């Protein structure tokens, strides 16, 4: 049997794998699978189309439905261009904090979840526990849906706890969203004859202005009593690239259009609205030159998390934390995807979202210990 590692040792091991979202995570997944196997726990995987990334999931306890899923993601954001004071892929303790890429988001919780299912196997539990570690969360939560679908081979769990950093607070609602890679393809002419050409840059501005107009309308219609900050849905373009020279109508323009939608609004309806506007702008471009077009590539699609009335997941987490309140956040998580698949879902995990994605990312030792105490209480609950 493999030696039992502490949560702290497990986190250090996970952080040592540089599973940056653009790279493979298979080395980490292989290690986790071997570690679980050493404790008598079989695991399964869901690979991406390249075969270079995988999600991992496992079941411990009775082979029956009604279990509890501990869910985290294995990928981390890049460290490129960030000024780190320590090695980002080595956990360094200093002043009550544990520094390293992913300590907060979210290999700290991953370590606690792995420790928890191993302890469940060692101690024995009357209610099943499942581990779900996804791929490709940081590029738009694209790994969770196929993983959840593959988990249909396990006894059906009833609730999922997604351990994103919430300072161990309870999050029962978050925004959803969708995103598109857009390539505006124009027709080049000398700018003195621009009425005969199609500027990809200037045509893209039409869509961006439409986004501004939609945002203004959302602000005007916002519910001041909404718990969300901001209390409205938002469309956003963060970067844009295109053009050849100041005196040539731009042949190409590239940008990513993203949406963050209130969970009370339909992401699907927003998607259709966005695509309809893209089609309208493209029709105007083609009216000038038939070769002009807008190429659209869906990038992500994340449903919002809605507060559940008497939700099983929130009820369980309230019992484990002793908290009588909950909140919402404006960022998305895989909780909405678990909920969309029929699980009761809630977000609760150690660490602060303010540290996520930052240089010198850290989790406080106190938060990590609170996370371990949470898992200990869960183990007692399912004993």
Active site residues: 75, 137
| Beta carbons within 8 Å of 328's beta carbon, 6+ residues apart | 171, 172, 173, 174, 227, 228, 307
DSSP type of residue 23: S
As a whole number of angstroms, the distance between CA 45 and CA 270 comes to: 33
- φ/ψ region of 243 (left if φ > 0, alpha if ψ in -120 to 50, else beta) reads left
- Which residue in 230, 240, 175, 229 sits closest to 207, CA to CA? 240
Asked if 344 and 170 touch (Cβ cutoff 8 Å), the reply is no
What are the DSSP E strand ranges found in 282-334? Answer: 293-302, 327-329
Q: What is the CA radius of gyration of the chain?
A: 23
Per DSSP, which regions of 21-126 are E strands? 43-47, 54-60, 68-73, 92-94, 97-99
Is residue 237 within 8 Å of residue 255, measured between CB atoms?
yes
> What sign does the CA torsion over 285, 290, 291, 297 have?
positive
How many Å apart are CA 292 and CA 286, to the nearest integer? 5
């Amino acid at each position: 049997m493999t030696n039992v590692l502490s949560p702290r040792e497990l986190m250090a091991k996970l952080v040592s794998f540089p599973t940056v979202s653009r790279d493979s995570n298979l080395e980490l997944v292989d290690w986790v699978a071997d570690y679980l196997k050493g404790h008598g726990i079989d695991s399964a995987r869901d690979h991406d189309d390249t075969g270079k990334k995988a999600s991992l999931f496992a079941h411990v306890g009775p082979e029956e439905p009604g279990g509890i899923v501990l869910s985290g993601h294995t990928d981390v954001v890049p460290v490129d261009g960030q000024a780190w004071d320590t090695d980002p892929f080595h956990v360094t303790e200093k002043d009550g904090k544990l520094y390293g890429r992913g300590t907060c988001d979210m290999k700290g919780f991953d370590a606690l979840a792995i420790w928890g299912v191993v302890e469940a196997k060692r101690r024995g539990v009357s209610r099943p526990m499942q581990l779900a570690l996804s791929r490709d969360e940081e590029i738009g939560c694209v790994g969770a849906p196929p993983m959840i679908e593959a988990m249909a081979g396990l006894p059906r769990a009833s609730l999922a706890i997604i351990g994103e950093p919430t300072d161990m607070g309870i999050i029962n609602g978050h925004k959803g969203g969708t995103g598109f890679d857009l390539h505006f393809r124009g027709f080049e002419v000398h700018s003195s004859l621009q009425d005969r050409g199609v500027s990809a840059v200037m045509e893209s501005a039409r869509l961006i202005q439409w986004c501004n107009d939609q945002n203004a309308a959302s602000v005007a219609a916002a519910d001041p009593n909404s718990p969300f900050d901001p209390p409205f849905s938002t469309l956003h373009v963060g970067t844009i690239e295109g053009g050849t020279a100041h005196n040539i109508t731009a042949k190409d323009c590239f940008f990513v259009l993203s949406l963050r939608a209130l969970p009370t609004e339909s992401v699907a309806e927003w998607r259709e609205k966005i695509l309809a506007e893209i089609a309208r702008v493209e029709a105007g471009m083609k009216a000038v030159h038939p070769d002009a077009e807008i190429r659209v590539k869906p990038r992500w699609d994340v449903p919002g998390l809605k507060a559940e009335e008497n939700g099983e997941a929130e009820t369980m987490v309230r019992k484990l934390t002793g908290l009588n309140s909950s909140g919402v956040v404006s960022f998305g998580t895989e909780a909405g995807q678990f909920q969309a698949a029929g699980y009761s879902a809630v977000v609760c995990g150690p660490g602060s979202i303010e540290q996520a994605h930052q240089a010198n990312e850290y989790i406080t030792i106190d938060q990590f210990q609170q996370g371990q105490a949470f898992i200990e209480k869960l183990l007692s609950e399912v004993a």
